[in-house]
A and B are shown apart, each in its own frame.
Chain A
Amino acid sequence: VTGSELLALCKDALRAAGEAEVEICARSRHRGVARVAIGELSQHMDLVEPQAIVRVAHGSRVAEVATSVLDRETLLACIADAARAARLVPKTEGFEGFSGDHPGGDEPCRYAASTASADAEERVDRLAPLLASIRAAGLVSAGYLETSTASVAVATTRGCARAHDSTMATYKVWALETPGAGGAAGYGGHLHKDVGALRLAEETDRAIRIAKMSRNPASLDAGVYDVVMEPPAVSELLEWLATITFGAPEVEQGTSALAGRIGDLITGEHVDIVEDPLDPSDLGFGAPFDREGTWRRKVSLIERGRAKGILYDRTYAARMKSRSTGSAILPEFGVAGVGTTCCQLAGGDASSVDELVRGMDRGLYVCRLHYVNGLLEPRRAVMTGLTRDGCFLVEKGKIVRPVGNLRFTDSFLEGLARCDGMTKERAAIPTWWSDAGACVAPAIRMRGFLFNGRSQQQPEELGGERGR
């Protein structure tokens, strides 16, 4: 189903329903997902994910009904059900009607026919030599190759009519010492609209190289360390920062670091963070309009370390006397909200990660993070999480040995304030909890980051067969 076909369906339903104030956001995704585990293709999926979200307003009383059935009859039934519910609900303060026929802008191309046409056979053919190379290295492969096509359309009774088609190819690969029991591990990954442009071999080689470097880790005590983090690690922190900080709901509730502090210095003066959903480069992902049909725009969120911008949907914007930034995100797992689709941390001038590593007398080089949580103290963006898939001790500017995984607990905003090096090159990392898009991050070096715990990885450290 193309975006244009979805839009035609939505407009037809709007015309036929006869309700005065209706919005339909329809989307359809077709995903081919080849999942690898224990060196085999363990789950290979051909997924179809249609959804239409219908909202009806009676004045400022708004109700929503969503369906997975994309046909005229079902959409009309949804409109009728939402209209009935809208009569019963209290008023939504700030609701000023659905989007009208506002002009959009230049639409970035997010579509590659090569990805759209990739089938199960092609995914298998692309993966087979990669898995073989990991096996040849004496390691166990795991990972994921996805080729997906997404179409989205938004139409309202006020004349908004938008449609967009996109593709996304995602490759994630692990080279492992053991299938599931821990030990050395290396990771590689790449995201691109064109499956043919994925750096499959390069990222696989990287995973193998990191895994080999990670063998026989030494134990390192918890403490305060300088740290260089690769883009996948930085992206985890950035995604959490975006979740707890930049949306109008978090600002209104007073839990965001931006609440009451616009214009204040909240991190280092070298830190710039933008929401750039229209980025036309290969780092940009997501549709150019939000679920309300508002054309997205670039928003400076933190500029030279100062709190600058907040992301709004139409209702929050009206209530907080601003204008929508096109940040009403599509609900994933049923959760709607206001958020980023392409949150980007600006890069620096370091030519490589090696250059950042060379600038540490003693510290850690961290490839990736695991299970980060940013809810400890959102106002300061205090986060905790663990290293994963490569953590190394650096002495006198050189990686000297792998170390066991460590837990960190520190404020990301304060860590960024102590950041004194970022690479010029950045990478787009898919956001893992939603389909909202990607985060874009450079590798960074932060001084004095708190690692407060050590993860025990060796089974013998468990006390093994005590009492036996």
Chain B
Amino acid sequence: MSAMTARAGDAHQTAVEEAMRAALDELRRAGDVRYAEVRFVSETTEKLRVRDGRPEQVATLRTRGVAIRVLGDKAWGFACSPELDEAGVVGAARRALAVARASGRVAHAPVLFPPREGAVGAYATRIEIDPFSVPLEDKLALLDAPVRALLASGKPVQSAEAWMEWTRVDKRLLTTEGTDTTQRFTYGACGMHVIAVDAAGVAQKRSYPTWQGCEGFQGGFERIAELDLTGHVDRLRSEAIQLLTAPPCPEAPRDLLLESSQVALQIHESCGHPAELDRALGAEISLAGGSFLQPKMLGKLEYGAKIVDLVADATTQGGMGTFGWDDEGTPAGKRPLIERGRFVDYLSSRESAAALARESTGTMRADGWSRPPLIRMVNVSLEPRSGSLEDLVADTKDGVLMATDKSWSIDDLRLNFQFSCEIAWEIKNGKRTRMLRDPFYTGVTPAFWRSCDAICGPEEWHLWGINSCGKGDPMQVMQVGHGAAAARFKNVTIGNAGHA
């Protein structure tokens, strides 16, 4: 009995497995199929949102189906089916093969796809408390309490919101190479924000634990208690109100300190995405763009300062980018992308790695059962160095500390970026002084990372999780992780959105 059947323990799952194997058998018999994978995905998501004392969203989303990717003589074909009986799954296999054959008619060269030995095994997120076993009313109460507390003092607080999201993904992958993996993931996210509005209608927002969309993790309900939303209400509300009268962030080159979650966003946009080999080779032009990190730069380009080590690690405990195997059967691993500042590797797939005569780094993942896998970030993290954030502030003569991302934009090669934050503080002679509003900073990726002269230590390092990284066309969203500690960058162009 397989792992999937053993866990689910019902005839339905056995029937699905039989249908998947029937589809693979049919594809094996086709004669022109070099490789095929059949991937079953079942996903349940619970979305809870309390805004201004009332439930804004109480929703459960369930989806399940089978994805089939076929490599014919020359080209790929992909099809999917929500029908899980043999007719549905085998029918999808036939459609995928028809698509591969149609595309193959106009292919100039066959897709490079080196074979590999099949992988067999199981992976599951380690959890202590299953979030789907916690009563709904308890979860809503945990969100309602901080929202009411944020609103309690009235104006200028205009709106407050708290949210919680849980996703359970069961995935089974069978391939013509003999891969048979079963994986169960449990993802969570929880946070809150408050909006204050002054008499002129100008609004300021503060969020906790960071900007919505970066607070995710892989784990159970035990992670919620660690957040202590209510314990951060007073600070959050106070900061939102103070921002209404704070001076704007000055416009001048300054030493820039970024708190941990902002460093995570910086990694995501200016290291993670450009290190995706499909982008670099030109496979993602139709939405995302290319990459300045071109193959000829591998091992040569000085991407950042020598203190900058960025690692792609799909094995980090609790990361949103952690798994057992990717969606083409490559096992999770840990590899440096930037080593002592030098660009040394890509996030890759079997096909893209073969184009460079390299091995896949195991990063192919798909959003659900109705999309083919793409190269996606795993946990791309900045290795910590030493010291606390307060040590870093004390070591800064004239700078600005920015926290909590507010907007993000970067060019199609991932060079020129501009990110704005919810809040900043001026640093003078080693001390945080006044609060600054509407801050943004802008730069060019390699110059920015080369200007990094300090990275805080393990005590400031946090593994953040982005649960909505967008890529592909049609768009796919994916969970990815970024570990980071606060860091300092020299002589960065900063400004304020109010001046634009």
Interface stretch of the complex, out of B30-38, B51-59, B307-315, B395-403: B51-59
Interface stretch of the complex, out of B124-132, B220-228, B283-291, B458-466: B283-291
Interface stretch of the complex, out of B96-104, B229-237, B377-385: B96-104
The number of chain A residues touching the other chain, given as a range, is 35 or more
Closest B-chain residue to A454, C-beta based? B416
B5 on interface, CB distance cutoff 8 Å: no
Interface stretch of the complex, out of B423-431, B469-477, B481-489: B469-477
A219 on interface, CB distance cutoff 8 Å: no
Closest B-chain residue to A261, C-beta based? B201
Partner of B418, one of A48, A334, A378, A409: A409
Knowing A66-B61, A85-B136, A334-B47 are in contact, say whether A90-B201 is a contact too (CB < 8 A): no
Q: Quick check: B62 and A65 within 8 Å, CB to CB? A: yes
B117 on interface, CB distance cutoff 8 Å: no
Knowing A37-B285, A48-B81, A462-B446 are in contact, say whether A89-B55 is a contact too (CB < 8 A): yes
Knowing A89-B58, A386-B416, A455-B416 are in contact, say whether A253-B195 is a contact too (CB < 8 A): yes
Knowing A45-B99, A180-B283, A182-B290 are in contact, say whether A457-B475 is a contact too (CB < 8 A): no
Residue-wise, chain A 37-78 has the 8 Å CB interface mask toward B (1 for contact) of: 111111111111111000000000011111111100000001
Partner of A120, one of B54, B99, B407, B440: B99
Knowing A31-B474, A178-B282, A379-B201 are in contact, say whether A388-B412 is a contact too (CB < 8 A): yes
Interface stretch of the complex, out of B19-27, B70-78, B169-177: B70-78
Q: Quick check: B201 and A142 within 8 Å, CB to CB? A: no
List, in ascending order, chain B residues with CB within 8 A of A376's CB. Answer: 406-407, 420, 438, 440, 497, 500
A328 on interface, CB distance cutoff 8 Å: no
Q: How far is the CB of B479 from the nearest CB of chain A, in Å?
A: 12
List, in ascending order, chain B residues with CB within 8 A of A464's CB. Answer: 297, 300-301
List, in ascending order, chain A residues with CB within 8 A of B364's CB. Answer: none
Tell me the B172-216 residues at the A interface (CB within 8 Å): 195, 197, 201-203, 205
Q: Quick check: A140 and B282 within 8 Å, CB to CB? A: yes
| Complex Cα gap A300–B476 (Å) | 33
Interface stretch of the complex, out of A283-291, A366-374, A394-402: A366-374
Partner of B411, one of A51, A131, A455: A455
Closest B-chain residue to A66, C-beta based? B61
Tell me the A447-465 residues at the B interface (CB within 8 Å): 450, 452-457, 459, 462-465
Closest A-chain residue to B202, C-beta based? A379
Q: How far is the CB of A453 from the nearest CB of chain B, in Å?
A: 6
| Complex Cα gap A36–B96 (Å) | 17
B2 on interface, CB distance cutoff 8 Å: no
Partner of A41, one of B54, B107, B109: B107
| Complex Cα gap A33–B440 (Å) | 38
| Complex Cα gap A384–B95 (Å) | 42
Residue-wise, chain A 323-365 has the 8 Å CB interface mask toward B (1 for contact) of: 0000000000110100000000000000000000000000000
Closest A-chain residue to B438, C-beta based? A377
Q: Quick check: B286 and A174 within 8 Å, CB to CB? A: yes
B119 on interface, CB distance cutoff 8 Å: no
Tell me the B153-168 residues at the A interface (CB within 8 Å): 158-159
Q: Quick check: B409 and A372 within 8 Å, CB to CB? A: yes
| Complex Cα gap A41–B50 (Å) | 45
Q: Quick check: A465 and B301 within 8 Å, CB to CB? A: yes
List, in ascending order, chain B residues with CB within 8 A of A445's CB. Answer: none
Q: Quick check: A405 and B75 within 8 Å, CB to CB? A: no
List, in ascending order, chain B residues with CB within 8 A of A49's CB. Answer: 370
Residue-wise, chain A 128-154 has the 8 Å CB interface mask toward B (1 for contact) of: 100100000000101110100000000
Q: Quick check: B45 and A370 within 8 Å, CB to CB? A: no
Closest A-chain residue to B477, C-beta based? A333
Q: How far is the CB of A75 from the nearest CB of chain B, in Å?
A: 12
| Complex Cα gap A36–B108 (Å) | 13
Partner of A172, one of B47, B158, B286, B495: B286
| Complex Cα gap A258–B54 (Å) | 23
List, in ascending order, chain B residues with CB within 8 A of A456's CB. Answer: 415-416, 444
Q: Quick check: B411 and A121 within 8 Å, CB to CB? A: no
Q: How far is the CB of A236 from the nearest CB of chain B, in Å?
A: 11
Q: How far is the CB of B401 from the nearest CB of chain A, in Å?
A: 19
Q: Quick check: A128 and B106 within 8 Å, CB to CB? A: yes
B17 on interface, CB distance cutoff 8 Å: no
Partner of A180, one of B285, B372, B444: B285
Q: Quick check: A68 and B82 within 8 Å, CB to CB? A: yes
Q: Is the interface of B mostly helix, strand, loop or mixed?
A: mixed
Q: Quick check: A40 and B78 within 8 Å, CB to CB? A: no
B115 on interface, CB distance cutoff 8 Å: no
Knowing A41-B103, A405-B411 are in contact, say whether A88-B62 is a contact too (CB < 8 A): no
Partner of A38, one of B283, B412, B500: B283
| Complex Cα gap A380–B194 (Å) | 19
A321 on interface, CB distance cutoff 8 Å: no
Partner of A90, one of B54, B302, B470: B54
Q: Quick check: A144 and B95 within 8 Å, CB to CB? A: no
Knowing A47-B80, A462-B301, A463-B446 are in contact, say whether A370-B411 is a contact too (CB < 8 A): yes
Q: Quick check: B289 and A370 within 8 Å, CB to CB? A: yes
List, in ascending order, chain B residues with CB within 8 A of A192's CB. Answer: none
B292 on interface, CB distance cutoff 8 Å: yes
Knowing A90-B55, A254-B159, A409-B497 are in contact, say whether A176-B294 is a contact too (CB < 8 A): no
List, in ascending order, chain A residues with CB within 8 A of B145's CB. Answer: none
Knowing A259-B201, A454-B416, A466-B302 are in contact, say whether A44-B409 is a contact too (CB < 8 A): no
Closest A-chain residue to B42, C-beta based? A68
Q: Quick check: A378 and B54 within 8 Å, CB to CB? A: no
B239 on interface, CB distance cutoff 8 Å: no
Q: Quick check: B500 and A382 within 8 Å, CB to CB? A: yes
A179 on interface, CB distance cutoff 8 Å: yes
Tell me the A80-126 residues at the B interface (CB within 8 Å): 81-82, 85, 88-93, 119-121, 123-124
Q: Quick check: A180 and B291 within 8 Å, CB to CB? A: yes
Q: Quick check: A43 and B409 within 8 Å, CB to CB? A: no
Partner of A65, one of B59, B82, B159, B280: B59
Q: How far is the CB of A463 from the nearest CB of chain B, in Å?
A: 6
Q: Quick check: A371 and B411 within 8 Å, CB to CB? A: yes
List, in ascending order, chain A residues with CB within 8 A of B81's CB. Answer: 48
Knowing A81-B60, A468-B300 are in contact, say whether A41-B279 is a contact too (CB < 8 A): no
Tell me the A246-264 residues at the B interface (CB within 8 Å): 252-255, 259-261
| Complex Cα gap A370–B410 (Å) | 8
List, in ascending order, chain B residues with CB within 8 A of A119's CB. Answer: 102
User: 6 closest Cβ contacts across the A-B interface?
Assistant: A179-B282, A180-B282, A180-B290, A142-B285, A68-B63, A376-B497
Known: A65-B62, A181-B290, A405-B412. 18 other contacts (CB 8 A): A44-B77, A44-B99, A45-B372, A46-B96, A47-B80, A67-B63, A90-B144, A124-B102, A142-B285, A178-B290, A371-B411, A372-B409, A375-B407, A384-B500, A432-B287, A462-B415, A465-B297, A468-B302
